[in-house]
Structure 1
Amino acid sequence: MAPTVLEGRPVPEVDILFLGSPGVGKATFLSQIEHVRDGRLDRSTPREHKHAFAPTGSLGWDVSLFGRPYKFRIWPSTSTLFVDPFPDQPAFTIIAFSVSSRESLHNAQYYWRKQLSLHYADLEHAMPVMLLGLKRDERTEKRLEDGSFECVMPQEALRVAQEMQCDRYAECSALTGELMWEVLEDITRTAAMTTTENGAMGQGSMCSVM
């Protein structure tokens, strides 16, 4: 696909992988991208947003940052396996899990992260990776018989993100909107930075959203 040209300058196009096991909340999160209006995140949209959809391919949207437009395409995983037709040169990867499912965090760490390294070994040191906790609204402080928390707590997820060698950690609830816009802004800024000469690697410290 030829790059879009605006006023004589090509508009940067960024491919983003959105990995994670089915059921972690990716569809609800992606449905919020409907509220990117006129190249900016529309904060006037009500926080409560219950419509979700399951994309069958990449989802594109336009964002204006740093005084210029960008075109982003997000490629969600749709299977329990790494088998979707992902692009050859993604610029940024988000690995999602549900804070109410420890199994999904285990899958993020021991399946999705390893598959990402396996399939994109040549991009290992150039592509930023974010671990994203979804369904924040479902978190409780209920404990199991061994005294551990039933849900994944923020400090635990941050530790796992560090073990996964992720560059960022964030969490939100796409259903209620809690921290949703902050996470979307973090994603768009990181994606935009991948188009610069220095890239998005090492841009500040890892972000813990609590």
Structure 2
Amino acid sequence: MDVEELTIKILLLGDEKVGKSTFLSRISGGAGALDGKANITLLRDIDQPFVFEVRNRKCRYRLEFYDTASPDNWRLLLPDLVLICFDISQRLSLINMQRIWINEVHRTFETSDRLPLVVVGLKRDLRSDDDPNGVIYPQEAYRISQEMRVDRYVECSAVTGELLQLAFEEICNAAVKTTTARGGQSEGGCVAM
């Protein structure tokens, strides 16, 4: 039995230094690196797309991840899934996600009303109660994700591996759903991991 191979383009958007490169570097290490114990080898921007293979009984999926390292080039992509990333320890990155990045998606992609969106909270390990104004708790990020009308909210730490496997599985599930007739959008609003 031949296994069909489908390519899915995934675009990561967000401010600089929110953890996108570390996230991609960690997941590039495969299943064994998702626990945060393996060393991270940082990927180079010139090596894009970063390709990951996912399989199930019916299909093999080629997930092509693109980062915004080349600000002009990402607007030319026709992604199947967009991940809007923010740094859990930096409130400004959350604000920019609401004010800048969601608007960029709607302005750039004609299919934005059907394009599945996932908000990814990165650097979970840096969440600190020491700065009461800067702390972004999961319930606040989830509420903002709902207001932005995205399909999913996940958070993780690529450095420690905390919730990384679950976040990656949710992203893969959303990506695989983009290949179905119903598409990758969730029914009834945002789903939290």
Normalising by structure 2, report the TM-score. Answer: 0.89
Separation in 2, partners of 1:107, 1:141: 22
Letter in structure 1 aligned against 2:6: P
Unpaired stretches in structure 2, ≥5 consecutive residues = none
Q: Does 1:135 align with 2:123?
A: yes
Residue 63 of structure 1: which of 54, 57, 66 is its match? 54
Question: Do the aligned partners of 1:43 and 1:181 also contact (CA within 8 Å) in 2?
Answer: no
Match of 2:78 among 81, 89, 113: 89
Unaligned runs of 5+ in 1: 1-5, 37-41
Question: Does the 8 Å CA contact 1:16/1:91 hold for their aligned counterparts?
Answer: yes
Which of 102, 114, 118 does residue 107 from structure 2 map onto? 118
CA distance in structure 2 between the partners assigned to 1:130 and 1:207 by the alignment: 9
- 1:33-82 deviations in whole A, cap 9, x for unaligned? 2233xxxxx25765224523342321111111354211110111116xx4
Query: Distance between the aligned counterparts of 1:88 and 1:46, measured in 2?
Result: 31
- Determine whether 1:21 maps to 2:9: no
- Residue 89 of structure 1 and its aligned partner are, at CA, apart by 2.2
Q: CA RMSD in A?
A: 2.2
Deviation at 1:142, TM superposition (A): 2.1
Q: 2:77 matched to 1:73? A: no
What is the SS of the residue equivalent to 1:35?
coil
Q: TM-score, normalised on structure 1?
A: 0.82
Partner of 2:175: 191
CA contact 2:89–2:135 (8 Å) conserved in 1: yes
The Cα offsets for residues 86-112 of structure 1, whole Å up to 9 and x where unpaired, read as 554211000000000001111111111
Q: Quote the residue 2:25 is aligned against.
A: 31
172-181 vs 124-133, greater mean Cα deviation: 124-133
Q: Percent identity?
A: 31
More helix by percentage: 2
**What per-residue deviation string (whole Å, max 9, x for no partner) do you get for residues 97-140 of structure 1?**
000000111111111110111000x2122111011100000001
CA contact (8 A) 1:50 1:175 kept: no
Q: Aligned letter for 1:55?
A: D
Residue 204 of structure 1 deviates from its aligned partner by: 7.2
One-letter amino acid of the structure 1 residue matched with residue 28 of structure 2: E
For the residues of structure 1 that align with 2:103 and 2:9, how far apart are their CA atoms?
A: 20
Q: Where do 4+ consecutive residues of structure 1 move more than 6 Å?
A: none
- Which has more radius of gyration? 1
Kept in 1, the 8 Å contact 2:84–2:119? The answer is yes
Letter in 1 for 2:68: S
1:158 deviation in Å?
A: 0.9
- Contact map agreement 1:15 1:87 (CA 8 A) in 2: no
**Displacement, 1:27?**
0.9
Note the C-alpha offset of 1:203.
Answer: 5.0
Provide the residue aligned with 2:89 in structure 1.
100
Alpha-carbon distance, 1:152 to partner: 1.2
